[in-house]
Amino acid sequence: MNYRQEAAVKLRPRWGAAFVSFFLFAAAWLLPVLLEWGIGALCAVPAAGVSRTVLTTAGLFFSLFLAGPLSLGRAAWYRALALGAKASGRLLFSGFCGWRFWQAVALRLILRIKSALWSAVFSVPALFLAGVSVWLRTVYLSQDLPLFLALLCISAGLGIIGQIACGIFLLRYAAAEFYLIDPSAPCGVREAVGRSVKLMKGKRFALTKLLLSLFPWWLTCLALSPALFIFPYFWETRSLFLLEQMRRERLTERMDELEKAI
């Protein structure tokens, strides 16, 4: 049985809680957007006297403190489901409990910073070519509009390719949440990120291939309602893959320990 088939089997009796996980995920992303719209409307009223910068910053922190714990709780629920343990609905909110809340926020913040920095790095070639195109347009290509537009199209293509490559590269952090909530080997936030990077060496393309196999299903999400099924299916498939890699890693470590002992 492959990961996708196993995910479908494990989700079959638990679709109710899976739907809840989807709505929580949607809320974690949509509420900050709605808050931003509300801020814009409030700042449009002259008498409100509210600083847009302050409220926008508050919206970002609201997103961080909501999405981080919910993401960690979602990982805990899908981990339990993948391992055949009791996937209680309470696990979806476990990221808000005690010290785990601050770990979830810290992990979310670290991953956002890393994602932004790596995205900027992978965008450098496209930005450089776009800058060169504008400079050439100003100095040499003032009368050659087709060539200028061709250069801009090439830079846009490089930008798209760069972001796709960045997305594959960022899969190195995919297992960080699972390491953070793993009771068999407790660790801190930075260690969880480091162990995820180590685990995913040589496995990013395997995970990319698995996720791309879901592409036809993602297209159905354009109709919105299928997303209720596709997101839980995606999360469980991804969880099964990562947990299997973590299991293999533990087996390898134990074999190394046995060899050293002998």
C-beta separation of 129 from 111 below 8 A: no
* Block residue for tokens 């087996």: 251
Residue 125 contacts by C-beta under 8 Å, 6 or more apart in sequence?
Answer: 158, 162
CA-CA-CA-CA torsion sign (216, 75, 105, 115)? negative
State the residue for tokens 């685990």. Answer: 199
The three state secondary structure string of 61-130 is HHHHHHHHHHHHHHHHHHHHHHCCCCCCHHHHHHHHCHHHHHHHHHHHHHHHHHHHHHHHHHHHHHHHHH
Is the C-alpha dihedral spanning 10, 14, 19, 24 positive or negative? negative
Q: Which helix (H) or strand (E) holds 32?
A: helix 15-43
Q: Are 163 and 121 in contact (CB under 8 A)?
A: no
Positions of the chain with pLDDT under 70: 1, 29, 31-60, 137, 139-145, 222-225, 262
As a whole number of angstroms, the distance between CA 229 and CA 11 comes to 10
Give me the domain span that covers residue 10.
Answer: 3-261
pLDDT tens string 134-191: 777 676 656 666 777 777 788 888 889 988 999 999 999 999 999 999 888 788 899 9
What pLDDT is recorded for position 224?
Answer: 64
pLDDT at 47: 45
Contact 88, 98 (CB under 8 A): no
Closest C-alpha among 180, 177, 182, 174 to residue 199: 174
How many domains are there within the chain? 1
